[in-house]
Structure 1
Amino acid sequence: MERISELIEYIYNGKLKHISRFGTVGIANTLIDFFVFTVFYKIIGVNYVFSQAIGYSCGVINSFVFNRKWTFEVKNANNNIFWEFVKFLVSNLISLVITMLVIDYLVKNLQLNVYISKIIVTLIAQVINFLLYKLWVFS
């Protein structure tokens, strides 16, 4: 049992810290995103592309708070939170545009199920976001 706790400690505070914490925050963001997407798409009846934008935006709010404070542990008071947030939004707008184009292509051209397409674009967004956050936003 102690070896398991050592492994967890290594993953969350060792060399894999940023990736593992980003993944954990990403799971929460994804759950929020999928929930809101489903509410707008299935219950309210909003088009899947616009539902993607709404769900994604809700995940973004959660993402900024937890990635800034926990994943990348921004503690420097000299960092201008306004400009960090602007860079964060630009990063997420890049991801959002890409995911909206890809989800539309997957559904219309490849005739994939909307939810399978949603999973694919969510994975694409995770890779794009991690790289932009690590190298630009919270660096």
Structure 2
Amino acid sequence: MSPECRAKYRRLGLFALGGVLGFVVDFMALHGMLLAGAGYYRGRLASFLCAVLCTWMFNRRWTFRERKANKGLLNEALRYLVAMSAGGTLNLVCYATAIELWPLSRQWPIFAVAVGCIAGMTLNFVSSTLWVFRRKSGDGF
């Protein structure tokens, strides 16, 4: 396997690991918000934002460390938030669908969170690779 191919698999693996970390943060924040009475949807919005912050910090430090943006930290964070919003929208739609159609997910919201996170991961990886942390040469993955 070529070094370039290994680097691509490494990046995908690290992105997935960051996603697992984000999933844990997401669910823990949702659980806290539900206990605080925020409800399924307001709680999920807050937990999603916590997960985005967590995954941005992880991906910046580990997954795309050689591709950090040169336009400033705040600019990169905002680009990441915008990029994750598309995946986040898909994530939230899948979460809401699971909550509404799958009674078990109301009892165990972790299942609905998992459905949403898995659905949004591919879109998030592509947007991170091609836009937020893209190489200057624009060679993609």
* 1:78 alignment counterpart: 70
Q: Secondary structure at the match of 1:120?
A: helix
User: Tell me, what secondary structure is at the counterpart of 1:45?
Assistant: coil
SS of the residue aligned with 1:122?
helix
| Structure 1 stretches of 4+ moved >6 Å | none
Give the % identical residues. 21
Task: Return the offset for 1:83.
Answer: 2.5
Identify which of 83, 86, 105 aligns with 1:91.
83
Gaps of 5+ in 1: 1-9
Structural RMSD (CA)? 2.3
| Counterpart-to-counterpart distance in 1, 2:84 and 2:67 | 22
Letter in 2 for 1:36: A
> What is the 5 A alignment of 1:10-25?
14-25=7-18
On the 8 A contact 2:87/2:124 being kept in 1, the answer is yes
Which structure 2 residues correspond to residues 1-139 of structure 1 after superposition, within 5 A? 14-41=7-34, 43-74=35-66, 78-111=70-103, 113-114=105-106, 115-139=110-134
Deviation at 1:32, TM superposition (A): 0.8
Q: Which runs of 5+ in 2 are unaligned?
A: 135-141
The alpha carbon displacement at 1:123 in A equals: 0.5
* Count of residues in correspondence between the two structures: 127
**If the length of structure 1 is used for normalisation, what is the TM-score?**
0.78
TM-superposed deviation, 1:45: 2.3
TM-score normalised by structure 2 residue count = 0.77
Deviation at 1:68, TM superposition (A): 1.2
